[in-house]
Chain A
Amino acid sequence: MSNHEHQDSKHQPVQRKEMSRRQFLSYTLGGTTAFMVGGTVLPMVRFAVDPLLAKGGESTLVKVIEESKVTAEPQEVKFKVRQVDGWYKSETEKVAWISRDASGAIFALSPVCKHLGCTVFWNTHGRNEYDCPCHDARYSRDGKNITVANLPLDEYVVEIQDGFVYLGGIIANTRA
């Protein structure tokens, strides 16, 4: 049949490349299926990944201690911040270890161990270092990682206003 058509092609009207009925149906069905699957799956995926796309809330500065009370020896300060966790809004306590460096500048370290997130304490073993109780990670006075952890302790944003120290959000360590 097709051979015959081929031979006579000059005398026949030009054959247009028409879609076969079968092809049309499979495209239509495929398109509809894709539309329906997409319409079902997309909302659910967007729903599930929302936390990835949400912007981190900006942190406010909190007054924690008088400037004059900060010494070279790190001291623990606790302060409350408002925390929004989905529909659950609460006040949560944060901890900072605050001290002065050799030049007298005040800095505050977050005691969350950069190894696996336990809480470190200053000088528990009398070595003048921050020690982690979980896996013996150690950090220097500046928060520099000495063993176990592979990153230095995070810092809080520090601001001094009217003789008081205010702490803000957490930033990567700038000293170690």
Chain B
Amino acid sequence: MFKKVYNWIDERLDITPLWRDVADHEVPEHVNPAHHFSAFVYCFGGLTFFITVIQILSGMFLTMYYVPDIIHAYASVDYLQHQIPFGKIVRGMHHFGASLVIVMMFLHTLRVFFTGSYKAPREMNWVVGMLIFFIMLGLGFTGYLLPWDNKAYYATKVGVEIAASVPYIGEYIASFLYGGDIVGAQTLTRFFAIHVFFLPGALIAMLAAHFIMIRRQGISGPL
């Protein structure tokens, strides 16, 4: 049945080369943990992506209940976590996944660094990777405010004060992030928009560039 449907579509649209190109390629021996167990270090990039997908999915589901408003934000998080079945699990995925992404990404960066994989011709991919790193930090920073509890409030306050210490433009950065001059209603909506639309958009574009480059250039050779 599935095969028939697939063939029907494939006859018309020739989709086989599309997924072949994405999925069907050799994994070199030196990066395959089945050959050398120590090659598990080459899995960190893929694990980072795996957790990123979980973050995007769990985040999408969280917005079914979450309200980015200073009156209701905390109550909506409390409700979705404690009243909705599996709320603890879904929010937990997003909460702990956020830390895990940073950990995995850091391990991936260390692997790339210590195997020298950032060297020519892969310098651009290193730079894109660094951009992804900063986007992830931005996602962490903006997401931290959204539960609108004391920890969120003060973390944002301190974070924006640090941004405000940038010479000359610091004050402008701060009032852009605050959406005014306090951590308040406008900061919350702003951080929500940045967390849910702007940064994920940038992240997906950067990930696409990261993956296209690694497919073009192939994985770096053994040490």
Contact = CB atoms under 8 A, between A and B. Distances in A.
| B and A form one assembly | yes
Q: How large is the interface on B (under 10, 10 to 19, 20 to 34, 35 or more residues)?
A: 10 to 19
Nearest to A115: B161
Nearest to A150: B165
B175 interface: yes
Interface of B is mostly: helix
Q: How large is the interface on A (under 10, 10 to 19, 20 to 34, 35 or more residues)?
A: 10 to 19
A49 interface: yes
A86 B161 contact: no
Interface in A46-73: 48-49, 51-52, 54, 56
Interface stretch (B77-85, B123-131, B178-186): B178-186
Interface string A115-150: 011100000000000000000000000000000000
Interface of A is mostly: loop
Given A116-B158, A116-B161, A117-B157, A86 B184 contact: yes
Contact of A86 (B157, B162, B172, B186): B186
Contacts of B6: none
Given A116-B158, A117-B157, A117-B161, A52 B185 contact: no
A85 B186 contact: yes
Interface of B: 70, 157-158, 161-162, 172, 175-176, 178-182, 184-186
Given A51-B178, A51-B179, A51-B181, 19 more contacts: A49-B176, A51-B175, A51-B176, A51-B186, A52-B175, A56-B181, A83-B182, A85-B180, A85-B182, A85-B184, A85-B185, A86-B179, A86-B184, A87-B185, A88-B70, A116-B161, A116-B162, A117-B157, A117-B158
